[in-house]
Structure 1
Amino acid sequence: MKWLMTRRVRSNSLTLAVLLAALCILCLFSMGRKDVQNPNHSSLSRLTRIGYDDIDGPEKACNCTAILEGKPEALNEAKILTMHKSFIESLRIPDHFYVNASKDCTNFKMSRKYLTFPLSREEEHFPLAYAIVVHHKAQNFERLLRAIYAPQNIYCIHVDLKAAPSFFDAISSLASCFPNVFMVSRREKMIYNSWSRVQADINCMADLMATDVAWKYFINLCGQDFPIKTNLDMVRKLRVLDGANSMESEAMSAGKLSRVQFVHKLVYGYWKADGGKKKGPPPFQLPIFTGNAYILVSRAFVLSVLEDHRILALIEWTKDTFNPEETIWATIQRMPGVPGSTWTSSKYDMTDMNAMARLVKWSWHEGERSSRQAVYPPCQGSHVRGVCVYGAGDLHWMVAQQHFFANKFDTDTDPVAIYCLEKYLRQRVLAQLREEN
């Protein structure tokens, strides 16, 4: 009898163990299904572990939340901070730091908090291509790269041939840590207002087209740009464009006509008119439009730039004009048959405030909203050649705009502005992942 009771206990224990094992398997299966149904689950947990306190930022010295809300007290405190040279110096990172730090790429990417995994399937299946033209301040560039980096995207970096060797070494060392970041195959010697700025972008366009990445849109930047949208924000807006391009393109004003009416050449290091020598008419009687150097264009547009015989003829005609980066893209955008282009009618003119590519404050367009001539509020930072170098006080207005990027930022002028903007973007990324979950 005792033996029988012992056998029954063992049998019941075995049955209970089997039931518990089955329940565990069922739970694991359910968890697995949950992760499959929600691909962002692991991304969210990994991103949460990365954290958001910027290792370069004045975390304890300023209140970014209040700054983004435009609170006067927080803005005044930030302004006072940037007036102290010692504060600026304490956050400066020399170029050689990146050469040494990138010798251990794994540690570099982890310590600098790069997002090295796709944050969503939507972004993973819509890769972007970047061309970034730089000539100094590796710290500015590295913060820009970190803010826009995603493993599914691809990045072509053009360093001015005139740049200091220490700067080139810093950028190439950085690029070597990422399989999807590369140095352009042909560098240009950048001359202000000359064709070299456009050629640098075209060189990157050709290199990007030669990669295996099936990127959808091309975005060109300089080292003092910074995003004001997350990668997911950009992808969703570009999906809505559905192959259309977004850039400034307007009829050329009378004051700018001389730029394309006379031949220009390099004179003692400056791009100047060649003794009043007049140019012939544009090829195919193309009307010339004006815009700026920065564009959001489809892959098909880029292919046309490299292959369309009309565009190739226009490129040759434009090479000896003044400030060609402000005419070439705007003109191609109005050419019939170019993918994503628009008609030449003035009804299709697009200003820089309506184009999504880049937000810039020019000093002559600043003013109070009550002024009929003002386009945007006064710069809260400083000005360089008429362009606002943003301060922390510009952020509240800036993040409400539709643009993808803003220019100019400078860590040597207002590191608080970049720090708070990057923190805002990281927090927005986390919020977007939580919404998806």
Structure 2
Amino acid sequence: MRPRSPLLLALKLSVVLGSLWTLFLLSGPTIDFNPTYILRYRWLEYTGDDGSPESVCNCTAIQQGDEETLEQTKLLTITKDFRKSIQIPDEYYINATQDCRNFKLSRKYLTFPLSQEEEDFPLAYSIVVHQKVQNFERLLRAIYAPQNIYCIHVDNKSEGSVISAIEAITSCFPNVFLVSKRVTVVYAAWPRVQADLNCMADLYNASTKWKYFINLCGQDFPLKTNLEIVRALRYLRGGNSMESERMPENKKYRFTNSFEVVNGNLETGKQKTPPPFNLPIMSGGAYIVVNRGYIRSVLEDHRILTLIEWSKDTYSPDEFLWATIQRVPGVPGSNWLNAKYDMSDVNAIARLVKWHWHEGSRGSLEAVYPKCEGNHVRAICVYGVGDLQWMLTQHHLFANKFDIYTDPVAIYCLEKYLRQKALADLH
């Protein structure tokens, strides 16, 4: 870590520490000040005295897979009183953010970089949200760092209290902003892609410093600390990471016929023309980890812009567009078209998702991962506490889905683990 001005560091820390203590700097201007000393104070950690209902649970035993603790925790999470106690109304965020300094302090946001390595490698995030402000705020807190930049897209059809609460939260952070153009997102239709495209453009124009772009939704949560994410991205050496494979025959109807939104639903129409430039359409996912050059290609490359226009009347374009662009020659960080460069969602680091039909018992030839310990929504596992031990052994940066109203302890124990790890890595 290179030497820093004590005065500059004191000013930065004072924003966070406020009246908790007074920082005296008695040495000369060339002292090498180590913020680790300040971070030994436990105020940044999530501890049992935080007053949160989930703090009664033994996260250490849960992460170790202790069966008795897991069973007790599952029984607790289904009780009516506990489920009621963990819910935070949207109005709380609207009122609490009237005093931004106190909001960030009480919610324990990290308002200064934890290392020079992280400060020198800023990231750009797009987060698409339509409900469950509490889920979103926990996600933002888990990934927040002052050197990063965050674009938030709130669905046009979201309830007024959701929009107001997220607007209030973003107003407390200079590097978190609402997208300039909101859309009404329709499941499996083009507006889901447009929401990310609008944030991509805003992020690209807002800062020239960020190195990588990561898109998220409100039910994602990190599996790695910011430092671990930075190191994983450095290891890519300019490459991108996302699912990009041959398109299965049973999915080709998604782009061989046109689709349009009618009364909020997708209806099929006439047969489409072949893809432009004879591009092979790849199978992929909606979530990606890509370098700044990839985003520049999405916004400026005439081949990509033509592909985007062609894709606007397809079904679930988010599940092939990014994967196809990843195989276009000349796109920064892209891979060759040869099948040997295909990448599955299991091998990519972008997102850990448990699909119902790929679950099974350990040792099964067909199973990709163990069975879901939570419940399923649209065949995707909504993680429970029983998934944490397995989840933390995976290489993915993020996982989907989490739901504060289904299993709040899974989120609580994961964010507690990540915060303590982030602070421990400084020692």
1:56 touches 1:91 (CA, 8 Å); kept in 2?
A: no
Residue 33 (1) aligns with residue 27 (2): no
How far 1:73 moved relative to its partner?
1.0
Cross-structure match for 1:116: 111
1:51 aligns with 2:49: no
Q: Supply the distance in 2 between the matched residues of 1:433 and 1:93 (Cα, whole angstroms).
A: 32
Distance 2:56 2:87 in 1: 16
Distance in 2 between the 1:43 and 1:263 partners? 59
Shift of 1:211: 1.1
In the alignment, is residue 360 of structure 1 matched against residue 335 of structure 2? Answer: no
Deviation at 1:32, TM superposition (A): 6.4
Pairwise CA distance, 1:242: 1.5
Structure 1 counterpart of 2:141 = 146
* Gaps in structure 1 of 5+ consecutive residues: 1-26
For 2:264 and 2:353, the matched residues in 1 are separated by 27
Q: Is the 8 A contact 2:53 2:85 kept in 1?
A: no
Partner of 1:16: none
Task: Name the counterpart of 1:168.
Answer: 163
- 133 and 367 in structure 1: CA distance in 2 versus 1, 3 angstrom threshold: same
1:273 shift after superposition: 1.0
2:288 aligns to what? 295
Q: Is the 8 A contact 1:129 1:208 kept in 2?
A: yes
CA offsets per residue over residues 327-358 of structure 1, 9 Å max, x none? 10000000000000001111011000000011
Closer, same or farther in 2 for the Cα pair 1:57/1:403, shift >3 Å?
Answer: farther
Shift of 1:130: 0.2
Partners of 2:364 and 2:179 in 1: CA distance? 45
Amino acid across the alignment from 1:302: I
User: Which residue number in structure 2 is paired with residue 228 of structure 1?
Assistant: 223
How do 1:388-399 residues align onto structure 2 when only pairs under 5 Å count?
Answer: 388-399=381-392
| Corresponding position of 2:335 | 342
CA distance in 1, matches of 2:261, 2:207: 38
Bigger helix share: 1
Corresponding residue to 2:62 among 64, 67, 71: 67
CA RMSD of aligned residues (A): 1.6
* Preserved CA contact (<8 Å) 1:361 1:379: yes
Query: Against the structure 1 CA distance between its residues 43 and 253, is the aligned structure 2 distance closer, same or farther, given a 3 Å change threshold?
Result: farther
Deviation of residue 269 (structure 1)? Answer: 1.8
Within 5 A, what are the aligned runs for 1:308-323? 308-323=301-316
CA distance in 2, matches of 1:320, 1:56: 50
Please give the alpha-carbon distance, in whole angstroms, between the structure 2 residues aligned to 1:410 and 1:84. 16
Gaps of 5+ in 2: 1-24
Q: Is 1:202 paired with 2:197? A: yes
CA–CA distance in 1 between the matches of 2:195 and 2:404? 25
Q: What is the Cα deviation at residue 262 of structure 1?
A: 0.3
- Distance in 2, matches of 1:369 and 1:239, equals 33
After TM superposition, which residue ranges in structure 1, 4 or more long, deviate above 6 angstroms?
A: none
| Aligned-residue offset at 1:51 | 3.0
The 2-side partners of 1:93 and 1:40 are apart by 33
Q: Is the 8 A contact 1:358 1:407 kept in 2?
A: yes
SS at match of 1:433: coil
- Bigger Rg, structure 1 or 2: 1
Question: Conserved in 2, the CA contact under 8 Å of 1:246 and 1:297?
Answer: yes
Distance 1:382 1:56, change over 3 A: farther
String of CA shifts for 1:100-145, please: whole Å, max 9, x gaps: 0000000000001101110000000100000000000100000000
With normalisation by structure 2, the TM-score equals 0.92
Matched residue, 1:328: 321
The whole-number CA distance in structure 1 between the counterparts of 2:294 and 2:313 is: 23
Q: Secondary structure at the match of 1:372?
A: coil
Partner Cα separation in structure 1 for residue 57 and residue 70 of structure 2: 9
Task: Report the alpha carbon displacement of residue 57 of structure 1 after superposing the two structures with TM.
Answer: 3.5
Distance 2:182 2:26 in 1: 54
Name the counterpart of 1:217: 212
Q: Which letter maps to 2:297? A: S
Structure 2 Cα separation of the partners of residues 77 and 57 of structure 1: 18
Q: Secondary structure at the match of 1:210?
A: helix
2:271 paired residue number: 278
Letter in structure 1 aligned against 2:68: E
Q: Does 1:267 align with 2:262?
A: yes
Secondary structure of 2:416 counterpart:
helix
Which residue pairs with 1:307 in the alignment?
Answer: 300
Number of the residue aligned with 1:379:
372
Instruction: State the shift of 1:83 in Å.
Output: 1.4
Q: Could you tell me which of 102, 105, 108 is aligned with 2:100?
A: 105
Deviation at 1:56, TM superposition (A): 6.6
Match of 1:191 among 180, 183, 186: 186
The aligned residue for residue 409 of structure 2 is: 416
Distance 2:44 2:409 in 1: 21
SS across alignment from 1:33: coil
Distance 1:296 1:195, change over 3 A: same
Distance 1:121 1:161 in 2: 38
Corresponding residue of 2:10: none
What is the CA deviation profile of residues 14-67 of structure 1, one whole-angstrom value per residue up to 9, with x for unaligned ones?
xxxxxxxxxxxxx965996342xxx44355346x43232274733552100000
Q: 1:75 to 1:253 in 2, by over 3 A?
A: same
The equivalent residue for 1:21 is none
Q: Indicate the SS of the match to 1:396.
A: helix
Deviations 1:218-244 (A, max 9, x none): 000000000010000000010111110
Q: Equivalents in 2 of 1:333, 1:294: separation in Å?
A: 12
Question: Is 2:383–2:407's contact at 8 Å kept on the other side of the alignment?
Answer: yes
Say if 1:136 and 1:163, in contact at 8 Å, map to a contact too. yes
| C-alpha contact (below 8 Å) 2:54/2:408 kept by paired residues | no
- The separation in 2 between residues aligned to 1:88 and 1:117, in whole angstroms, is 34
Q: Which residue matches 1:253?
A: 248
- 8 Å CA contact 1:290–1:326 kept in 2: the answer is yes
Deviations 1:279-306 (A, max 9, x none): 0011101000010000000001001100
CA distance in 2, matches of 1:355, 1:56: 38
In percent, how many aligned pairs have the same letter?
A: 61
